[in-house]
């Protein structure tokens, strides 16, 4: 289901072959070690840059491929289908989330400075939204950036930050006006070599083990006012504009991972026997797998509709919320069922289905929990 879909043309399919080779040659040999270490090698980013996998949507004038978001989607699909959720998530935060904010809201000077470095892998980017006391409720953030002359002084704490250990640049959601509510929030670029910036521990997670995820601390970090991304007080509007792409990204991730779980389960039940015959020959197995196959087909069709809208800049918040809600909830249900077909072996980490099960759980939480997606969708009723 990944390839040969009408949403993609020949150029995208050729690019898919490149991504597939990259996964086999540059991730597979190192993946087990990265999972154990809780972080990828920095060389992973350099190799990704050499292959053209970093920020492919950036115009050629900044050193990018000048592709549309479908090139990003190809990277997402292939790396997640390969089963490499951690390294894939690292790239996705950099490519599909952070890069979008710089392209949409960066000044020309900011674009000239950061986009080429992000494409080359010299600069790894993260975005810091979540705080210990706030999850999906972004209006509750407490990190502050107070203006002092030509500088902002940033103080606060963030948590669950993807690329937190590896990043060189952080897009920080801050409060620049104590009284401004959602209008008092701004996005500020913070270089991680600035005094007062500290990384906390690399968090120990259920899944996505090789994706470094960190606490970040800002102790009176001073940055020039030129590091403001977009308009002061405009963060909420910026987030609402960019979050649909992030949620579509997560939906694509879930679909690719779910497809992989289904495919390896079909292979397994054809080989595993019980009561003298292959599990695949039992009606219960066939019917449940038929349901999963149908759900996957429906999911891919809707994802492709959303990709087509997004390429035309027509993807709405409701579309993206429905895509994320449906794909991640479907993934959770079907991977759970696939583990059941594996029996006790499905509970063993040496079996890929076990890792796919663990990696699936967070998909219904990050990028906006399923409950938030339902709230956003309900507003359009």
pLDDT above 80: residue 182: no
The residue annotated as part of the active site, out of 35, 77, 215, 246, is 246
As a whole-number percent, the residues of the chain with pLDDT over 70 amount to 98
* Residue 148 burial (10 A CB sphere; 0-12, 13-18, 19+): exposed
The CATH homologous superfamily for domain 10-123 is: Acyl-CoA dehydrogenase/oxidase, N-terminal domain (1.10.540.10)
- Residues 311, 68: Cα–Cα separation, whole Å: 7
CA–CA distance from 228 to each of 59, 102, 191, 243, 311 (Å)?
22, 11, 12, 19, 28
> Contacts from 291-294 at CB under 8 Å and sequence distance 24+?
292/262, 292/334, 292/337, 292/338, 293/262
pLDDT above 90: residue 143: yes
Residue 149 Ramachandran class (φ > 0 left, ψ -120 to 50 alpha, else beta):
left
Compute the average pLDDT of residues 126-152.
89
pLDDT above 90: residue 9: yes
Query: Would you identify the CATH topology of the domain 236-378?
Result: Butyryl-CoA Dehydrogenase, subunit A; domain 3 (1.20.140)
Domain boundaries, the chain: 10-123, 126-231, 236-378
The pLDDT score that the predictor gives to residue 152 is: 98
| pLDDT tier, 135 (very low <50, low <70, confident <90, very high otherwise) | low
Instruction: Give catalytic status of residue 246 as yes or no.
Output: yes
The pLDDT score that the predictor gives to residue 178 is: 77
Reduced to 3 states (helix: H, G, I; strand: E, B; else coil), residue 125 is strand
Compute the average pLDDT of residues 52-66.
97
The pLDDT score that the predictor gives to residue 133 is: 79
- Residues 231, 238: Cα–Cα separation, whole Å: 9
- Residues 242, 170: Cα–Cα separation, whole Å: 16
Reduced to 3 states (helix: H, G, I; strand: E, B; else coil), residue 220 is strand
pLDDT above 70: residue 122: yes
CATH 2.60.40.10 fits 126-231, yes or no: no
pTM listed for this prediction: 0.96
The pLDDT score that the predictor gives to residue 235 is: 94
| pLDDT tier, 283 (very low <50, low <70, confident <90, very high otherwise) | very high
pLDDT above 90: residue 354: yes
- Residues 227, 223: Cα–Cα separation, whole Å: 7
The pLDDT score that the predictor gives to residue 4 is: 77
Average pLDDT over the chain reads: 96
The pLDDT score that the predictor gives to residue 34 is: 98
The pLDDT score that the predictor gives to residue 259 is: 98
pLDDT above 70: residue 1: no
């Amino acid at each position: 289901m990944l390839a040969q879909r009408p949403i993609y043309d020949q150029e995208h399919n050729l690019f898919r072959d490149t991504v597939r080779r990259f996964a086999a040659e540059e991730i597979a040999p190192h993946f087990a070690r990265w999972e154990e270490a809780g972080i990828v090698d920095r060389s992973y980013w350099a190799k990704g840059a050499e292959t053209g996998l970093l920020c492919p949507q950036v115009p050629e004038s900044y050193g990018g491929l000048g592709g549309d978001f479908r090139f990003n989607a190809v990277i997402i699909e292939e790396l997640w289908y390969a089963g490499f959720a951690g390294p894939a998530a690292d790239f996705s935060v950099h490519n599909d989330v952070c890069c979008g904010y710089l392209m949409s809201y960066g000044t020309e000077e900011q674009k000239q400075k950061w986009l080429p470095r992000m494409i080359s892998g010299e600069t790894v980017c993260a975005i810091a939204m979540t705080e210990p006391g706030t999850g999906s409720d972004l209006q509750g953030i407490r990190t502050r950036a107070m203006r002092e002359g030509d500088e902002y002084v940033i103080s606060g704490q963030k948590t669950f930050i993807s690329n937190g250990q590896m990043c060189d640049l952080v897009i920080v959601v801050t409060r620049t006006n104590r009284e401004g509510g959602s209008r008092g929030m701004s996005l500020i670029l913070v270089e991680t070599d600035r005094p007062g910036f500290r990384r906390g521990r690399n968090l120990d997670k259920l899944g996505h083990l090789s994706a470094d995820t960190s606490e970040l601390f800002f102790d009176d970090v001073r940055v020039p006012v030129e590091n403001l991304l977009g308009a002061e007080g405009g963060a909420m509007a910026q987030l609402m504009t960019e979050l649909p792409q992030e949620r579509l990204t997560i939906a694509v991730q879930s679909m690719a991972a779910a497809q992989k779980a289904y495919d390896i389960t079909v292979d397994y039940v054809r080989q595993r026997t019980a009561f003298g015959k292959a599990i695949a020959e039992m009606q219960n197995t066939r019917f449940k797998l038929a349901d999963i196959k149908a759900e996957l087909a429906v999911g891919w069709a809707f994802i492709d509709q959303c990709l087509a809208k997004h390429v035309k800049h027509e993807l709405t918040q409701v579309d993206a919320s429905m895509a994320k809600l449906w794909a991640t909830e479907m993934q959770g249900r079907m991977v759970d069922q696939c583990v059941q077909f594996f029996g006790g072996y499905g509970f063993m980490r040496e079996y890929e289905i076990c890792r796919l099960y663990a990696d699936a759980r967070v998909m219904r939480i990050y990028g906006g929990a399923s409950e938030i997606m339902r709230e956003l969708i309900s507003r359009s009723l």
